[in-house]
Amino acid sequence: MRGLSESTKQLIRYAYRLLEAVHPQTLRQLHYAIFSLAVILYANDKASYQRLSRATTVARRTFRAWQLDGDDESPVPADSIPPAWMIDETREPETVSVWTDAAAYIEAVKRSYRRDNWQDQENYCEVWSEKATILAAIRPVADKWGITLRVCHGFGSTGMEQQIGAAFAEIEKPITVYYLGDHDPSGRVIEQDIHDRVVTASGCEFTMERLAIHQADIAKFKLPPQRIKSSDSRAAGFRKRFGKNAPTVELDALPAGELRWRVEKAIKRLIDFDTWNRQVAIQDVEFACIADIAAKMKALPQLER
176-195 per-position pLDDT tens digit: 999 999 999 988 999 999 99
User: Which of residues 300 and 270 earns the better pLDDT score?
Assistant: 270
Domain boundaries of the chain, sorted by first residue: 6-87, 96-117+274-305, 122-224+250-271
Please tell me the CATH code under which domain 122-224+250-271 is placed: 3.40.50
For 104-160, the pLDDT digits (tens) are 776 777 667 788 999 999 999 999 999 988 888 899 999 999 999 999 888 888 888
Lowest mean pLDDT among 59-63, 87-91, 207-211, 261-265: 87-91
**What is the reported pTM?**
0.74
Q: What percentage of the chain carries pLDDT values higher than 90?
A: 46
The three-state DSSP-derived secondary structure of the chain is: CCCCCHHHHHHHHHHHHHHHHCCCECHHHHHHHHHHHCCCCCCCCHHHHHHHHHHHHHHHHHHHHHHHHCCCCCCCCCCCCCHHHECCHHHCCCCCCCCCCHHHHHHHHHHHCCCCCCCCCCCEEEEEECCHHHHHHHHHHHHHHCCEEEECCCCCCHHHHHHHHHHHHCCCCCEEEEEECCECHHHHHHHHHHHHHHHHHHCCCCEEEEEECCHHHHHHCCCCCECCCCCCCCHHHHHHHHCCCCCEECHHHCCHHHHHHHHHHHHHHCCCHHHHHHHHHHHHHHHHHHHHHHHHHHHCCCCCC
For 22-78, the pLDDT digits (tens) are 888 888 889 988 988 888 989 888 999 999 999 998 898 888 888 877 766 778 888
Average pLDDT over the chain reads 87
